[in-house]
Amino acid sequence: MTPKAKFVLGAGLVTLTVGFLMAEGIKDTGVYFLMPAELAERVASDASMYEVGIRVGGTVVAGSIERDVATMTLEFEVTDGEATFPVTYQGLVPDTFMDDGEVVVEGRLSPEGTIHATTVLAKCGSRYEAVAEDVAETTY
């Protein structure tokens, strides 16, 4: 085998190996967050989902928000219409956090079924879109 053929073979193997490792890494981390129904399904089939870091996205159940100002503790429920999980969080939440608002929570799922969040991210509400449309339609 000539040196050039050895080099091409070696480069091809290195490229395939790196490509395989990248694809596996992306596959494992490609999902940014799970919806509550997906989390419920995974928990039902895999008990190791408890006490590991997860991200769950969904809608805050209207009327479920309970705040304790003294301890800065927040309790609410997140749903996707199919499954619902209670969430506890200690800290400040974004100003856009509200009933029926979309959120993504990061934390750990306890065996009791409660998500103990370390981060709460709230998506911007549609109220900003309505204001922008009103401004665009206004003539001077």
- What confidence tens digit (pLDDT) does each residue in 28-52 have? 555 578 899 999 999 999 888 888 8
Q: What is the pLDDT of residues 2-24, one digit of tens each?
A: 999 999 999 999 999 998 888 77
- Residue 66 inside a domain? The answer is yes
Specify the number of domains making up the chain: 2
Q: Can you give the pLDDT at residue 14?
A: 94
Please state whether the predicted TM-score (pTM) of the whole model is above 0.75: no
- Residue 138 inside a domain? The answer is no
Residue 131 has pLDDT above 70, yes or no: no
| 45 and 18 co-located in one domain | no
- Residue 137 inside a domain? The answer is no
3-state SS assignment for residue 133? helix
Q: Can you give the pLDDT at residue 130?
A: 41
Residue range of the domain that includes 3: 1-30
- Residue 140 inside a domain? The answer is no
| 20 and 55 co-located in one domain | no
Burial (0-12, 13-18, 19+ Cβ within 10 Å), 53: exposed
- Residue 133 inside a domain? The answer is no
